[in-house]
Every structure is written in C-alpha cells, then in structure tokens.
C-alpha cells in the first residue's frame, strides 16, 4: 500500500506510514524509519478522543500546520514543483513569479489533521526585499536548483544564508531539491550530484533529484517533507508542554515553601497576652 493516498471527499492526503528518506540518505532525519514514540502516543490520544462526540479539541490541536518555503535562483522550476504536486499539472512556459504564491495542502497523518502551507517565492534579485519577509516562521526550507545549471547549484548557499537570517525560528529542516532530471544524462546528473552532496553534507540537508515534467520523485519528496514537518511541529509542542509543566511544578513548590501556618495554640496565647497587657 502506498504511504500516501488522497481522500476524494475531504481532499486530504492520508498518511499512515513514515515516508522513506532520499536514496542518498542525507539529512538530519535520514536514519529514522518510523515516527517517534512520543508522537505516536500523542496521535493515538487524538484518535481515541475523536471517537467521543462530546470532546472538544483545542484550537492548537485541531489546526496544526507547518510553513514550507521554496527558494532558489530564477528559472530553476520552483513553481513547476509546486504545481505538479498540488495540482498535478505541468506547463513548459510559466510566467515569472512576482513576490510569492502559495498553496495549502491538507493531510491526515496518523489520524491527526495537518495543513502544510507551501510558499513559492520569486528568485529574481529585485523581489528579495519582498520575498524574504515571507521567510519568517518557516519550519522547512526547500532550496531548489537546476541540474542543467551549475550556477544555480552554487547559489543555493546564498539562498540558504538568506533563510537563516530571516526565518526567525531556532531550527528548521532543509531539503535540497534538484529539478529537471529529465533534461540531463545519467552521467551529467551524477557529476552534479557529487557537488550537491557536498552542500547537503555541510548543511544537513536531505537531497532529492526530481522532474516536474515526468513527475519523478515529486510525490515522494513532498510526502517526505510533510511527514518531517508534521513530526517537527509535534515534537516542539511536546517539548513546550513538558517545559511549561516543569516550570509550573517549580513555581508551585517554591510558593508552597513560603507559606507558613501558625499553630492555633500560638495564636490563642498571643491573644491572651495582648488582652492582659491593656
């Protein structure tokens, strides 16, 4: 059974299995083969509670979402990536993206509703002042380059540095995606991938080779991105909840140690002394 399927009624992508990493096995999540136990427990609790018609989900639980930004040099095929995945279409000629465009994909991962915002950013330098403003809060950064252009690969480092400066989060996951696989020979692809692997290793990025025209690895890489983003969001939530509970316990212990109750006998004896001294 495929790791992802789309429900025609709800337009949700249903994911029950942990998506495999890139065949090259690069990236911080490359060795992981299943959802973390604490994530599974949280999702199981959600599924159990969802069976109760009187249970009301908190807004944070029912609206979990992640922001994914796709960046890279002009003309590398960022828009083609997004449209092939979200709408299953491909056109040879696209108008240059002005500023940003975005799509929202809906998922149900391990039974939990999840939305992924996919932001397609303009690559032209004249739009950088606009596009970098939309980098804030991204949990996943996808850096795209064109397998037919070595210059677009060299510029990936520049784009990632822009993301590090403007994302405004402590950590984000990085994917390095090569486009236009259908336009290069196996030998040319292999030579480009040697250089791409250096970048992936340096920044802990997960590398994928794709073709928007043929659809090669498009579904696989975005399924992988959604699973990594989903688990990243839940793990941060779990850590924040645990930290809040720990701080609350410390405050409770601290405040309770300051409260000293006087014994009834002490109070009554003091009252008697005050009464006799008048």
- In sequence order, what are the beta bridge partners of 7? 12
Across the range 38-61, mean pLDDT stands at: 72
Determine whether domain 4-236 maps to CATH 3.40.50.300: yes
Mean pLDDT of the chain: 81
Q: Is 102 helix (H, G, I), strand (E, B) or coil?
A: strand
272 or 222, which is more confident? 222
Q: Is 14 helix (H, G, I), strand (E, B) or coil?
A: strand
Contacts of 117 (CB under 8 A, 6+ apart): 65, 66, 67, 68, 102, 103, 104
CB 82 within 8 Å of CB 70: yes
pLDDT at 9: 38
pLDDT at 48: 81
- In sequence order, what are the beta bridge partners of 4? 15
Q: Residue 87 is inside which H or E element, if any?
A: helix 78-87
CB 70 within 8 Å of CB 81: yes
Q: Is 112 helix (H, G, I), strand (E, B) or coil?
A: strand
pLDDT at 22: 84
pLDDT at 60: 45
Which of the given ranges, 9-18, 184-193, 262-271, has the highest pLDDT on average?
Answer: 184-193
- Tell me the C-alpha to C-alpha distance, in Å, between residue 12 and each of 7, 107, 196: 5, 5, 33
In angstroms, how far apart are the furthest CA atoms of the chain? 106
207 closest CA partner among 177, 184, 237, 162: 177
What is the token pair recorded at 72?
A: 């890279």
pLDDT at 2: 39
pLDDT at 8: 46
**Integer Cα distance of 100 and 46 in angstroms:** 34
96 closest CA partner among 115, 112, 77, 83: 77
**Integer Cα distance of 69 and 136 in angstroms:** 9
Calculate what percentage of the chain has a pLDDT beyond 90.
47
pLDDT at 164: 84
Is the confidence at residue 245, as pLDDT, over 50?
yes
Burial pattern 258-270, b for ≥16 Cβ within 10 A else e, equals: eeeeeeeeeeeee
Across the range 205-224, mean pLDDT stands at: 95
pLDDT at 11: 67
Q: Residue 173 is inside which H or E element, if any?
A: strand 173-179
Is the confidence at residue 117, as pLDDT, over 90?
yes
Confidence of residue 112 (pLDDT cuts 50, 70, 90): very high
pLDDT at 278: 46
Provide the edge-to-edge strand list for the sheet that holds 65-72: 4-7, 12-15, 100-109, 112-121, 65-72, 140-146, 173-179, 206-209
pLDDT at 1: 36
Across the range 86-114, mean pLDDT stands at: 85
Is the confidence at residue 88, as pLDDT, over 60?
yes
CB 167 within 8 Å of CB 66: no
pTM exceeds 0.75 for this model: yes
82 closest CA partner among 110, 104, 50: 104
What is the token pair recorded at 169?
A: 């989060």
When mean pLDDT is compared across 156-160, 193-197, 247-251, the lowest value belongs to 247-251
- In sequence order, what are the beta bridge partners of 174? 141
Is the confidence at residue 144, as pLDDT, over 80?
yes
pLDDT at 244: 75
What is the token pair recorded at 166?
A: 């403007």
């Amino acid at each position: 059974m495929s790791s992802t399927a789309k429900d025609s009624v709800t337009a949700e992508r249903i994911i029950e299995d942990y998506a495999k990493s890139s065949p090259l096995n690069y990236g911080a999540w490359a060795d992981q083969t299943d959802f973390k136990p604490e994530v599974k427990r949280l999702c199981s609790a959600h599924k159990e509670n969802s069976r109760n018609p009187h249970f009301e989900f908190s807004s944070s639980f029912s609206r979990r979402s992640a922001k994914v930004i796709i960046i890279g040099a002009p003309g590398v095929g960022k828009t083609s990536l997004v449209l092939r995945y979200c709408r299953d279409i491909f056109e040879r000629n696209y108008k240059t993206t002005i500023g940003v465009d975005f799509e929202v994909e809906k998922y149900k991962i391990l039974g939990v509703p999840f939305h992924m915002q996919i932001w397609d950013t303009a690559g032209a330098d004249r739009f950088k002042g606009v596009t970098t403003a939309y980098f804030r809060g991204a949990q996943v950064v996808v850096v795209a380059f064109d397998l037919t252009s070595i210059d677009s690969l060299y510029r990936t480092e520049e784009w990632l540095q822009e993301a590090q400066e403007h994302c405004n989060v402590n950590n984000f996951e990085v994917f390095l995606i090569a486009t236009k696989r259908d336009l290069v020979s196996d030998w040319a692809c292999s030579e480009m991938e040697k250089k791409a692997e250096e970048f992936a290793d340096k920044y802990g990025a997960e590398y994928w080779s794709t073709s928007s025209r043929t659809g090669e690895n498009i579904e696989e890489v975005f399924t992988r991105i959604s699973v990594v983003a989903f688990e990243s969001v839940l793990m941060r939530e779990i850590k924040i909840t645990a930290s809040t509970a720990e701080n609350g316990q410390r405050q409770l212990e601290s405040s309770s140690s300051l409260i000293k109750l006087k014994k009834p006998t002490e109070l009554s004896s003091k009252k008697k002394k005050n009464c006799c001294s008048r």
